[in-house]
Structure 1
């Protein structure tokens, strides 16, 4: 069900009254349209329309969970599976990162909300949800699929947050009420950058990743890395949570590229994004 706040953005009250009926001059034969037009998906709210692509993703990749668990574990491990040495190293990284809090304070707090974080990509690319509905939808699809994947992985690993493991770490804000491993912000950030860089190959100085363990190049990936690292600075993630998110995002990207409606059809979402930004399309 859509939230009340979401509905209020797009809906206004309408009603039929007795006075309205008296104003109308119509016969019973003209009461309804004979050939009503289709309610085209492109007019859906992007958050809700994105579920169609999530459905395609799940149907086309039934074994994704096992594959993504292996990718996550190549990036690290949840706190309870680390050795004492690994846990000490990861914890010291977080404590050292707190020195950067002053310069990243407002940014880290703003990005804690997923919708606010998406605004950084919209601003970098120059996306207006009204003028660029396909590009906006692609970003929302990446966020939704990333969220679904990461929550399933978090539920499997149930990794403790850093401040639970080490009380000396005082988070910048209350940690989310979800497990720590892998990082959702990292997975979603890199996945958004992956699909945009993959669709818009001429985006300045940017290119999608060619290896699981490495991000792509350019400002889209600088942004993803910064958003992910801000979670370490804030004390709500271990660095290895981000590494796991990076690797899983790469596997998600590979699977998304095999979905016809998203990537390979003539009128796929990718093709529509390229028509919106022809100067960035190859």
Structure 2
């Protein structure tokens, strides 16, 4: 029962609490391995493939499995519709034709590259004689990613678990602490981060439903995390998307860019700086802000709740959606006046011309 609720409560997988036994990596006295890491399911061994189903979603989020609603009516039930960040998200959601693309279009537009989607058999080959070989190729990619997650589980998870636990629902707080922002001193900077969260949640949740990738622990029970896993699909990573997207928005503020921007870039010119350092690539980005974004992403891998390719795909999607909002040519730009206003007010909170 919920305390004082007067109704029955049954535990569901995404509400399970901390499981300490997931930290003991020592084989028992019979020699049995600590975790069943060798037992891994091939999601492509039969048609249809193993995918995240509507029943796997958290009931509170299951509306994402419905056709996309330009008015975001279900999403609005859980938020304050008067906040500038929510208005910006509604403006963004109403222009889905400028950002919600299918697999082929994402590749054609270079929003994602082949490695981002190497885990998925190319559906264009489904009727070719080489379909079996294509499924085997994709399975080998998935297997290699799971092996990498197993190694992170053994080497890193216990050391980072306290940080991972806080970041699970406290991602924004890491940005506030990192740049020293508070509601009292810089309220519009706080609202800009809220814009990143609101727009980002709509973007990555829509793509999660489109790709429906099962969590690693669905395929390898030995990867069961210490809490969770989240009850929505793995691809793309929400933490990686939000981390990189919020970083991009914050670095549009010259006063923040001076300290946390891309080293070697031009202060105040995020378009040029990002282009110089290829945020849509895979190399580390020489920036404290993007270091934080990447750490948020990597910790989700350490927890074992998404794959390395989910992290990079989210970084790439975040960059291209930011670019479509802020730098794209007018004919293809996503127009969000509320976001423009919030950015303008936030810039005024970080003067760069102190005497």
TM-score bracket, normalised by the shorter chain, equals 0.7 to 0.9
| Superposed counterparts of 1:161-240, under 5 Å | 161-200=215-254, 202-207=257-262, 208=270, 209-210=274-275, 211=278, 212-214=280-282, 216-240=285-309
1:76 matched to 2:116 = yes
In 2, are the aligned partners of 1:194 and 1:216 still within 8 Å (CA)?
no
Deviations 1:143-170 (A, max 9, x none): 1111101111010111010011112212
Q: What's the CA shift string for 1:4-56, capped at 9, x where partnerless?
A: xxxxxxxxxxxxxxxxxxxxxxxxxxxxxxxxxxxxxxxx9799431211122
Question: Is the CA contact (8 Å cut-off) linking 2:213 and 2:233 kept in structure 1?
Answer: yes
Asked if the contact 2:85/2:338 (under 8 Å) is kept, the reply is no
Unaligned runs of 5+ in 1: 1-43
How far did 1:61 drift? Answer: 5.6
Whether the 8 Å contact between 1:180 and 1:241 is mirrored in structure 2 is: yes
Q: Deviations over 1:82-131 (max 9, x none)?
A: 61220121111101111111221100011111xx1110100111111232
Does structure 1 residue 117 correspond to structure 2 residue 153? no
Shift of 1:69: 4.1
Separation in structure 1 between the aligned mates of residue 117 and residue 339 of structure 2, nearest angstrom: 32
Residue correspondences, number: 233
Which moves more between the two structures, 190-199 or 48-57?
A: 48-57
Match of 2:324 in 1: 255
Normalising by the residue count of structure 2, what TM-score does the alignment of the two structures yield? 0.60
Name the SS for the 1:168 alignment partner. helix
Residue among 83, 86, 96 paired with 2:141: 86
- Stretch of structure 1 that moved more, 219-228 or 94-103: 94-103
Q: 1:65 aligns with which of 100, 125, 133?
A: 100
Q: Which moved more, 1:101-110 or 1:202-211?
A: 202-211
Shift of 1:195: 0.7
Separation of aligned partners in 2, 1:178 and 1:150: 11
CA–CA separation in structure 1 for the residues paired with 2:114 and 2:216: 20
Q: CA RMSD in A?
A: 2.7
- Listed one character per residue, the Cα deviations across residues 175-204 of structure 1 (whole Å, up to 9, x for unaligned) are 000011110110011000011112336331
Q: 1:205 to 1:129 in 2, by over 3 A?
A: closer
**With structure 1 as the length reference, what TM-score do the two structures score?**
0.74
1:278 has 2:351 as partner: yes
Q: Which residue of 2 aligns with 1:144?
A: 198
Deviates more, 1:163-172 or 1:69-78: 69-78
Q: CA shift at 1:139, angstroms? A: 0.5
Separation in 2, partners of 1:129, 1:280: 23
- In structure 2, the residue matched to 1:101 is 157
- 1:47, 1:162 → 2: CA distance? 38
Q: Secondary structure at the match of 1:119?
A: helix
Distance 1:76 1:168 in 2: 25
CA contact (8 A) 1:46 1:137 kept: no
When Rg is computed on C-alpha atoms for both structures, the one with the higher figure is 1
Displacement of 1:74 in angstroms is 4.1
- Pick from 158, 177, 183 the counterpart of residue 129 of structure 1: 183
Q: Provide the residue aligned with 1:4 in structure 2.
A: none
Closer, same or farther in 2 for the Cα pair 1:57/1:239, shift >3 Å?
A: same
